Structure 1
Amino acid sequence: MRPLPAVIFMSRWLQVPLYLGLIVAQGVYVVLFLKEVWHLVTASMTLDETNIMLVVLGLIDVVMISNLLIMVIIGGYETFVSRLGVEGHPDEPEWLDHVNAGVLKVKLSMALISISSIHLLKTFISPDQNTTHAIMWQVIIHVAFLISALVMAFVDRLTTHTHPTHFQEPADLQPLGSAGSSPLKAHD
């Protein structure tokens, strides 16, 4: 490989500290989750049902953000840096074997919609803590997330159906007539 392309290709390893930083953020969320669980357990006798529900929704929110972090860390590293080498491992995430940038974007947008839904539910449970203006903006932002996710999913579906051979692994490609030829080579 020529020097400039080699340097450009190796530059993907600059993302490793970013993924390690997200792992640290994941640890912070674990501490926050445990703190909230402790708060729920110790204050359970003094909290009313609405406040307990708000704390539980906060816990769900932390879990969903944590799931989002895992998708970004594992999926991003696998897609943009290097293979993880966990094929065949019993704990390998089901979605990892068919992840690409498009799939990752759609999964992330769905996670953001879920997180936004939790925030919206918390707002609707205690509307007196928010102004009508704040509630309106939360709904608008949630709808914007929904629309952007639909557009991303549509574009991903459109591109994978328009050029399906670009989204298959070489082992998945079927020969087209002569030995060693593939649909990928036929389109190039």
Structure 2
Amino acid sequence: MKKVEHAVEAGIFNSRWALAPFFIGLICSIFVLLSGFARELWHLLTHFTTLSETDTILGILALVDMTLLANLLIIIIFSGYESFVSKLDISNHEDKPGWMGKVGFSTLKVKLISSIVAISGIDLLRTYMQLDNDSTISLEIVQWKLMIHGVFVISGLLFSVMDYLTSKSGNNH
């Protein structure tokens, strides 16, 4: 019976590797995002003399938005892989980011919601800047975006408070 228990436990433990394809998929999505970034940058570079100030700012905000999303994906890939699959054996690598190996699941949740709030804020700013130029943006759309952004902000604050209280209680699981 002990052998069966050990085999089941080994199977459960090794099942964490089923997550590896998800992280590989996220890496592929960074390259998809990079192609969108390159297209937007190319558009800005080739049309900068004809773009209005608002269109230039909107283009730059789109680049910032994609950069934040790519950073978020990197954090999720590295910390998720290290938290749930296996440690990355790069401790002696000269380019190892300082946060690697220090971002646990709790910190990851706070970073995730912070990035979502930033991305939502940029989208809201883009919507605001397009109000004069785009008649398809209704007041109802703006209100929904404001409410959703507010929910993200409140969720981020609650996650931060929960993380703070958990760390103070000494229960870091």
What TM-score comes out, normalization by structure 2 length? 0.91
Query: Gapped runs of 5+ residues in structure 2?
Result: none
Residue 153 (structure 1) shift: 1.3
Q: Which residue of 1 aligns with 2:55?
A: 51
Q: Which residue of 2 aligns with 1:97?
A: 101
Summarize deviations over 1:83-103 as a string: whole Å, max 9, x none.
012224222222223211101
Of the three residues 40, 44, 60, the one matched with 1:40 is 44
> RMSD of the alignment, in Å?
1.4
Q: Which residue of 2 aligns with 1:157?
A: 164
Greater alpha carbon shift after TM alignment, 54-63 vs 94-103 = 94-103
**Which secondary structure state, in structure 2, belongs to the residue aligned with residue 97 of structure 1?**
coil
Of the three residues 64, 70, 73, the one matched with 1:66 is 70
Query: Gapped runs of 5+ residues in structure 1?
Result: 168-188
Residue 152 (structure 1) shift: 1.1
Separation (CA, whole Å) in 1 of partners of 2:116 and 2:99: 17
Of the three residues 4, 28, 31, the one matched with 1:24 is 28
**Which secondary structure state, in structure 1, belongs to the residue aligned with residue 99 of structure 2?**
helix
Summarize deviations over 1:74-132 as a string: whole Å, max 9, x none.
11101111101222422222222321110100011111111111101101111143111
Q: Which residue of 2 aligns with 1:142?
A: 149
Separation (CA, whole Å) in 1 of partners of 2:95 and 2:58: 32
Greater alpha carbon shift after TM alignment, 152-161 vs 35-44 = 152-161
Amino acid at match of 2:59: V
Amino acid at match of 1:134: I
Of the three residues 138, 142, 152, the one matched with 1:131 is 138
Separation (CA, whole Å) in 1 of partners of 2:152 and 2:56: 28
Amino acid at match of 1:158: L
Q: Which residue of 2 aligns with 1:8?
A: 12
Higher relative contact order at CA 8 Å, sep ≥6: structure 1 or structure 2?
A: 2
Separation (CA, whole Å) in 1 of partners of 2:31 and 2:69: 12
Identity of aligned residues (%): 39
